[in-house]
Amino acid sequence: MRKKTLFATMTVALCVIVAAGGLLASNMGFKLNYRLNATSPGVSATGKNTLALPYFRQTGQNVAYDMMIDIGGGSVGAVANGSKFNEINDTFTVYNGRMGAPAASFALAPGEAYFVNMFASVPYTPSHY
């Protein structure tokens, strides 16, 4: 009888630990919140910010123009330009959003870092993720 009680108690305790660990380790419901700063004394000398988007993105953000529109809340007004590192020739591919058609902008890829230069400081929570 005593072994059955001990087994039942240990089973319940293990279930509680697993459930609590799952709740604490879950990141569901969290969104990335960035503060993208423009040139400002004591904050940013250049207005350049590093940005990492989630690895598994949803639909809606495919090119740099889409990212800039999302950052600017519907326009590219707050963003001076967006860029990414080009490993092939050790340079940066820069897109300023004002070159005309959005098709001229570079494609966003999972696992890449992007740089954005800002005209104005804005809080940014990616809306397409």
Digit-coded pLDDT (tens) for 46-92: 889 888 777 766 667 888 888 888 888 777 788 888 999 988 999 98
Q: Which residues of 58-94 are buried (b: 16+ CB within 10 A; e: fewer)?
A: eeebebbbbbbbbbbeeebebbbbbbbeeeeeeeeee
- Helix H or strand E segment including 81: strand 79-86
pLDDT tens digit sequence for 31-45: 667 788 888 888 888
Domain-wise residue ranges, the chain: 34-124
